[in-house]
Amino acid sequence: MYLPWSYIHSFECNACGICCSHFSVPLRPNEALEISRKLGRYYVEIRKDRLFLRKESRSCPFLLSSHLCYLQMLGMKPRACKLWPFYIFKNPEYGRREEAAFSSKLGTFYIYVDPRCPGIAIGRPTEKLMSAIEEAVEIWLGLRREQVLTTSSLKALARMGHESMPKIAQIEDSWLLSSIGPQIPEIGELRNQSHRGALYRLE
Q: How many C-beta atoms surround the C-beta of residue 163 within 10 A?
A: 10
Residue 149: partners with Cβ closer than 8 Å, 6 or more residues away: 128, 131, 132, 135
Q: Is 118 in the site for ligand SF4 (CB under 6 A)?
A: yes
Per DSSP, what are the bridge partners of residue 59? 56
Least separation in angstroms between CB 29 and ligand SF4? 16
Alpha helix positions (H), 40-114: 70-73, 79-83, 97-100
Q: Cβ closer to ligand SF4: 42 or 97?
A: 42
User: Quick count: other Cβ atoms within 10 Å of Cβ 86?
Assistant: 26
Q: Phi-psi category of 33—alpha, beta or left, where left has phi over 0 and alpha has psi -120 to 50?
A: alpha
Q: What minimum distance in Å lies between the beta carbon of 39 and ligand SF4?
A: 11
Residue whose CB is less far from ligand SF4, 64 or 100? 64
User: Can you tell me which of 43, 52, 62, 110 binds ligand SF4, judged by CB under 6 A?
Assistant: 62
Closest distance of CB 71 from ligand SF4, Å: 4
Is position 18 an interface residue for ligand SF4 (rule: CB under 6 A)? yes
Q: Pattern 68-97, binding to ligand SF4, x per CB under 6 A?
A: -x-xx----xx--x--xx------------
Residue 165 near residue 70 (C-beta atoms within 8 A): no
Task: List residues binding ligand SF4 (CB under 6 A).
Answer: 13-20, 25, 53, 60, 62-63, 69, 71-72, 77-78, 81, 84-85, 117-119, 152
